[in-house]
Amino acid sequence: MQIAWGKAANSNQPNRVAITGLGIIACCGIGSEDFWNGLLAKPPQGIRVVPNFDPLLWFNPKEARRVDRFSQFNVAAAQMAIEDSGGTDSLNSDPTKVGVIMGAGVGGLDTLEKQIIQMYEGGDRKVSPFLVPMMMANAGCANISMRFGFHGPSESIVTACASGTHAIGNAARLIASGRCDVVIAGASEAPMTQVGKAAFANMTALSTIGISRPFDKDRDGFMLGEGAGVLILEEMNRAQERGASIYAEVLGAASTADAYHITAPAPDGHGAANCMELALADAQLKPQEIAHINAHGTSTPLNDKAEADAINKVFGTPGPPVTSIKGITGHSAGSAGAIEAVAAVLTIRKKLIPPTAGLESQDPEIHIDVVKAAPRAWEPGPILSNSFGFGGHNGCIIIAPPK
């Protein structure tokens, strides 16, 4: 990874960025193994709600009442990732060099909606004094830094559906530049409120028949999802010296804007293509060195075609094998890229590319190699993970097996 600002301490070369821990909460599973098994199973029915999530496993009852669902996901996934990486003591040798970078597209929508109803039913005095700290998008990173005593940068990225990918990319640069030794990075989202579901439905973003079908000729929108994904990013030498399990390495990241439309992607995919090219340059890789693409693949007519065209522009036709996990997970907005980053790491570990669930008949105007029907065995190599958000925000990260 190149350095966007500064340089690595005492070196002209950027620090390498290891991934040493994973935390995941998704509709298809809580924890890495259940999540992975869910990616290989049949899609859930209906909207993609996380089932059986019990906040009391991570909060006492009083705390749980004062933390919105999206932030509960954040803290729970972060704790999983921290424990997976060896625990707080292993990471927190210098708390001023441990950061928390979290993404969210909407934030505490559930709390906001409930408190508006409270106000209209009971008057201003019924509005909770905890409304603002519960709904603010930075509540996720704030709660993590306070709970675990991390004193480094604690920041929230809000770039719609690109938030999680941007959070991981920005976090990796904090490691590469030497500012941080460790960063807890990822994103969370819980938009499953009455207003949230109605808003996405009324803008015709959701599937009318309740099936997410990325790259299919009959795709008609996504299924709304929720959840959180968290990675522990750590300076490689530090991780090796403490004997951490190194799952993968972040090689590069990029961010661009379409500057085209508030919801629709640029029709020719030029912003997405530019973002992929910049990520490759950041990782110092050639297109032919990318072994797999975890696509944004939302199952909307415009997005899937624009992304496929962008892939062809950068990688040729058909390019590397492509999958979209949104046929299983649905589209969880700001947390999608973080959930997909966890999936990318597991794709490396398991030496299998999960299939694109819901895809039955590939759109003849989409000329990419989509993995479908069954998982595909592969020899792990660099993975490009794409996220493209409302507002024209594009984010790409490259995750590779550790050397």
Catalytic (active-site) positions: 161, 296, 331
The answer for 227, left when phi > 0, alpha when psi is -120 to 50, beta otherwise, is: left
Cα angle 48-53-59, degrees, rounded to a multiple of 5? 140
CB 78 within 8 A of CB 230: yes
Task: Choose among 384, 386, 395: nearest CA to 254.
Answer: 395
Instruction: For residue 57, give every residue at least 6 positions away whose Cβ sits within 8 Å of its Cβ, in sequence order, or none.
Output: 76
Q: Residue 395 pairs with which residues in a beta bridge?
A: 255, 387
- Tallying the residues shown for the chain, one arrives at 403
- With beta carbons less than 8 A apart as the criterion, state whether 182 and 19 touch: no
DSSP run (H or E) holding 62? helix 61-65
Distance between CA atoms of residues 255 and 237, nearest Å = 27
Give φ, ψ of 139 to 5 degrees: -65, -35
Q: Which residues lie closer than 8 Å to 279 by C-beta, 6 or more apart?
A: 252, 253, 254, 384, 396, 397, 398
